[in-house]
């Protein structure tokens, strides 16, 4: 294993990196500068994206590789938890650790640029790629983006904040225009990108869609907002084939075209940059100083991450996808995957304390294809980019899907290993043989029934779903299977692996004692699930999105309209349910524990001169098990501010031993206290009375206190 390089604190400052970049780029000809900005093209690049190398002065071909949850495509890498699970942990430190181990793997394989994290929103539950990102709340997404990027870049790898911006569904992603007013854009969709810039992100990827009528990759938002307002110092690359032309985009801030060839169907088609950009400069359509700035920004990010110092040679070769000679970079990262997998399991319901399971539960049935593995999962031809759903679901499909390592732990294996030899197990994996499911369920004391729901990127269609989900029902006969098992066994536990919310027509069945939501847990799926089912880990995962009673309850749906008006404005996710007084089935932030927590009285101090508010309270573990609580802070703005009823503005994961208490402190600064003022084009703190609510979910508020600014 190659030793790790410096951590973030030792990374160069942007100023230092830019000084070094100026010295290098000043020696380059126009053609050399353009080369740095231009992809080699599919069929010519050894990585998912590779830039053209430059010699004398020397600058290497940069290797850009997917994706947000690990390296893809590549052999001998870790298939970790999806972004949506990272968010469900509400655990800053664990999200940072995830970024660090991903960064290590990219560094050791010689990948300069990781194409992640994904930071789009689960604006509608059907959105095909919502699982790659961090859910429906800007604050949560902002924290998760910040920590992920900090972790990746601490290992000397450039992170990519993607997709800029408002690429929140797959339907017509190349044609649709996401139409968003200025305030909503700032307070919701830009928020995680602002946090990415705070983390010093090296690259941003502009998206396929249009924004308010203009293609995202030609949009002057790239310069005006991203650079001037947020202070972004790195380079902007296109999504693959998202470039449309040669002149507008560089003039509006685009720095790099990927993958290079302009026509996806022709590997030899020229780039919109390359010779065309050289000509545009010669014809006076693009100034040479613009091209100098573009090259400078790319070279600066490279220097900032210290990639000039013994960066490993890239060992990626997508032109020859064989495992031969592939270095193994997995180290012990599976431990982290298991820990984060367990930390992101959400217990939605748990009646009669059926969970955690105990030694006395010695006759268990495990039912449903989602509990099992299947050779098809490992078949990179028949299940390319994970575009298949024959067995347990550990990630969605598309460019962000990691190839399977040599193993995955399906739930059945994880549970049986933890239960030990004295427990009798009966299983069936045929979701359509309901008679068999009934027989197996009847013959056991506890029946654990599994089902899933999948989605992904639009270039693959699975079971008629072209990226976005066609509906929110379970796949593979899941609802009938659950109903059958529940009819047959009075101790039914339902486990759902899903990319996002589903409908639960069986939720009130009296025999369903628990609903467990492990999301998309990656390769250690069965182990992390067993850790929670048996109480080795006390669950603390929380929903990063709202689960509604009806599909129509959501603020937005994935649509085939080409003009998508974000008419819910600030009321994305739970804010909509609050504003419209709709009762969700399971609210944002919900998740149960095997212990109980008492919330002590909330003390709030405000300092309007410093634009600072501090809140503090004690959390007491009054139950029998040690465990962690996710303490959530929601802010209600003065009514005149025109904000949703409440918005998440803080959370802390606090571990409290049984019978003990811990103090939790929050600090709100100008960032958390402001709204975007369109007239002055600035962030302002509204005057008046605010309220702070602290609670265990967005609908389980335990303490409220007010302050005036
Ligand atoms: C996706 C990006 C990805 C790129 C390269 C595109 O289809 O939208 O997220 O990084 O492909 O594979």
Q: What is the pLDDT of residue 391?
A: 97
pLDDT at 10 over 90: no
How far apart are the CA of 159 and the centre of ligand 1, in A? 14
112 lines ligand 1 (CB under 6 A): no
How far apart are the CA of 239 and the centre of ligand 1, in A? 6
How far apart are the CA of 71 and the centre of ligand 1, in A? 12
497 lines ligand 1 (CB under 6 A): no
Q: What is the pLDDT of residue 406?
A: 76
Q: How many CB atoms lie within 10 A of CB 10?
A: 10
pLDDT at 2 over 70: no
Atom number, ligand 1, closest to the C-alpha of residue 132: 9
Q: Which of 91, 137, 168, 239 is catalytic?
A: 239
Q: pLDDT per residue over 324-343, tens digit each?
A: 778 999 999 999 999 999 99
66 lines ligand 1 (CB under 6 A): yes
Q: What is the mean pLDDT of residues 503-532?
A: 98
Q: Whose CA is nearest to atom 3 of ligand 1?
A: 399
Q: pLDDT per residue over 149-208, tens digit each?
A: 999 999 999 999 999 999 999 999 999 999 999 999 999 999 999 999 999 999 999 999
Q: Could you tell me the pLDDT band of residue 3, with boundaries at 50, 70 and 90?
A: very low
Atom number, ligand 1, closest to the C-alpha of residue 49: 5
Q: What is the pLDDT of residue 6?
A: 41
Q: Whose CA is nearest to atom 4 of ligand 1?
A: 240
Q: Whose CA is nearest to atom 11 of ligand 1?
A: 240
Sequence-ordered strand ranges (E) for 542-688: 563-565, 597-599, 603-607, 612-621, 627-636, 647-656, 661-668, 675-677, 682-684
Atom number, ligand 1, closest to the C-alpha of residue 160: 10
Pocket residue to mutate for ligand 1, from 113, 160, 240, most atoms within 8 A of Cβ: 240
Report CA-CA distances (Å) from 377 to 3, 238, 402, 452: 33, 31, 11, 15
How far apart are the CA of 400 and the centre of ligand 1, in A? 7
Cα–Cα dist 504/639, whole Å: 36
The DSSP letter of residue 209 is: S
135, 89 in Cβ contact below 8 A?
no
Hey, what's the torsion of the CAs at 604, 606, 610, 612, to 10 degrees?
Answer: 40
Q: Is the pTM of this model over 0.95?
A: yes
Q: pLDDT per residue over 401-447, tens digit each?
A: 998 777 899 999 999 999 999 999 999 999 999 999 999 999 999 99
How far apart are the CA of 48 and the centre of ligand 1, in A? 9
Q: How many CB atoms lie within 10 A of CB 11?
A: 21
Cα–Cα dist 55/58, whole Å: 4
Percent of the chain with pLDDT over 70: 99
Q: Whose CA is nearest to atom 2 of ligand 1?
A: 239
Q: Could you tell me the pLDDT band of residue 291, with boundaries at 50, 70 and 90?
A: very high
Task: Please give the mean pLDDT across all residues of the chain.
Answer: 96
Cα–Cα dist 234/232, whole Å: 6
Q: What is the pLDDT of residue 5?
A: 43
Q: Whose CA is nearest to atom 7 of ligand 1?
A: 240
Q: What is the mean pLDDT of residues 475-501?
A: 98
Q: What is the mean pLDDT of residues 215-235?
A: 96
Cα–Cα dist 488/428, whole Å: 14
Atom number, ligand 1, closest to the C-alpha of residue 207: 8
Cα–Cα dist 81/70, whole Å: 9
How far apart are the CA of 332 and the centre of ligand 1, in A? 28
Identify whether 239 is a catalytic site residue.
Answer: yes
Give the lowest-confidence range in 158-167, 215-224, 468-477, 485-494: 215-224
Report CA-CA distances (Å) from 46 to 61, 104, 560: 10, 20, 35
**What letters, b where the CB count within 10 A reaches 16 and e where it falls short, cover 186-208?**
bbbbbbbbbbbbbbbbbbbbbbb
pLDDT at 8 over 60: no
399 lines ligand 1 (CB under 6 A): yes
115 lines ligand 1 (CB under 6 A): yes
Q: What is the pLDDT of residue 52?
A: 95
50 lines ligand 1 (CB under 6 A): no
Cα–Cα dist 242/574, whole Å: 32
Pocket residue to mutate for ligand 1, from 119, 166, 399, 457, most atoms within 8 A of Cβ: 399
239 lines ligand 1 (CB under 6 A): yes
Say which residue the tokens 């010093």 belong to.
200
Pocket residue to mutate for ligand 1, from 239, 258, 385, 396, most atoms within 8 A of Cβ: 239
pLDDT at 30 over 90: yes
Contacts of 573 (CB under 8 A, 6+ apart): 122, 123, 135, 136, 137, 545, 546, 555, 588
594, 623 in Cβ contact below 8 A?
yes
Atom number, ligand 1, closest to the C-alpha of residue 208: 8
How far apart are the CA of 115 and the centre of ligand 1, in A? 8
Q: Whose CA is nearest to atom 8 of ligand 1?
A: 239
Query: What does the angle CA 638 – CA 642 – CA 643 come to, to the nearest 5 degrees?
Result: 80
């Amino acid at each position: 294993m190659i030793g790790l390089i410096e951590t973030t604190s030792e990374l160069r400052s942007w100023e230092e990196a830019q000084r070094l970049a100026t010295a290098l780029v000043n020696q380059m000809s126009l053609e050399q500068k353009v080369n740095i900005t231009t992809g080699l093209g599919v069929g010519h690049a050894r990585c998912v994206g590779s830039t053209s190398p430059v010699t004398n002065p020397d600058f290497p071909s940069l290797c850009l590789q997917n994706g947000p949850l690990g390296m893809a495509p590549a052999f001998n890498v870790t298939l970790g938890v999806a972004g949506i699970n990272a968010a469900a942990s509400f655990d800053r430190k664990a999200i940072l650790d995830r970024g660090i181990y991903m960064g290590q793997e990219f560094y050791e394989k010689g990948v300069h640029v990781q194409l992640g994290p994904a930071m789009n929103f689960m604006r509608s539950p059907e959105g095909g790629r919502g699982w790659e990102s961090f859910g429906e709340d800007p604050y949560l997404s902002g924290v998760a983006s910040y920590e992920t990027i900090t972790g990746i870049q601490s290992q000397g790898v450039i992170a990519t904040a993607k997709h800029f911006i408002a690429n929140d569904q797959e339907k017509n992603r190349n044609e649709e225009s996401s139409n968003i007013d200025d305030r909503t854009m700032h307070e919701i969709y830009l928020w995680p990108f602002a946090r990415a810039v705070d983390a010093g992100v090296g690259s941003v990827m502009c998206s396929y869609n249009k924004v308010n009528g203009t293609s995202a990759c030609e949009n002057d938002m790239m310069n005006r907002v991203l650079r001037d307002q947020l202070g972004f110092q790195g380079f902007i690359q296109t999504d693959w084939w998202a470039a449309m032309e040669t002149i507008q985009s560089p003039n509006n801030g685009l720095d790099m075209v990927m993958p290079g060839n302009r026509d996806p169907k022709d590997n030899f088609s020229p780039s919109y940059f390359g010779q065309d950009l050289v000509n545009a400069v010669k014809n006076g359509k693009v100034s040479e100083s613009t091209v100098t700035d573009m090259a400078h920004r790319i070279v600066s990010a490279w220097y900032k991450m210290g990639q000039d110092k013994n960066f490993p040679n890239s060992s990626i070769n997508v032109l020859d996808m064989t495992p031969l000679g592939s270095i193994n970079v997995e180290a012990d990262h599976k431990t982290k995957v298991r820990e984060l997998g367990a930390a992101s399991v959400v217990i939605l319901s748990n009646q009669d304390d059926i969970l955690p399971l105990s030694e006395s539960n010695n006759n268990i049935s495990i039912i449903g294809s989602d509990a099992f593995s299947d050779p098809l999962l490992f078949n990179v031809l028949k299940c390319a980019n994970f575009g298949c759903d024959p067995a347990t679901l550990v990630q969605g499909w598309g460019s962000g899907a990691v190839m399977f390592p040599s193993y995955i732990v399906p739930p059945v294996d994880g549970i049986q290993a933890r239960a030990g030899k004295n427990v009798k197990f009966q299983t069936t994996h045929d979701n359509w043989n309901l008679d068999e499911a009934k027989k197996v369920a009847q013959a056991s004391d506890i029946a654990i029934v599994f089902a899933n729901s999948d989605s992904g990127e639009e270039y693959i269609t699975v079971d008629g779903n072209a990226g976005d989900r066609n509906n929110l029902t379970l796949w593979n006969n899941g609802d009938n299977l659950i109903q059958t098992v529940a009819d047959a066994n009075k101790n039914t536990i339902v486990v759902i692996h899903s990319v996002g919310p589903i409908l639960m027509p069986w939720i009130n069945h009296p025999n369903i004692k628990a609903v467990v939501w492990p999301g998309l847990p990656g390769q250690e799926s069965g182990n992390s699930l067993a850790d929670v089912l048996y109480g080795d880990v006390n669950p603390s995962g929380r929903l990063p999105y709202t689960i509604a009673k009806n599909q129509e309850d959501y603020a937005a749906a994935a649509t085939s309209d080409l003009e998508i008006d974000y008419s819910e404005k600030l009321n994305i996710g739970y804010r909509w349910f609050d504003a419209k007084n709709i009762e969700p089935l399971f609210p944002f932030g919900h998740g149960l524990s095997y212990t109980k927590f008492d919330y002590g009285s909330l003390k709030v101090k405000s300092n309007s001169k410093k634009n600072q508010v501090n809140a503090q309270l004690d959390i007491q573990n009054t139950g029998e098990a040690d465990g962690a609580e996710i303490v959530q802070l929601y802010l209600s703005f003065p009514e005149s501010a025109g904000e949703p009823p409440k918005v998440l503005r803080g959370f802390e994961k606090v571990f409290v031993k049984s019978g003990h208490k811990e103090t939790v402190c929050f600090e709100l600064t100008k960032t958390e206290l402001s709204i975007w003022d369109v007239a002055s084009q600035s962030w302002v703190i509204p005057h008046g009375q605010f309220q702070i609510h602290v609670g265990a979910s967005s609908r389980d508020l335990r303490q409220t206190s007010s302050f005036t600014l």
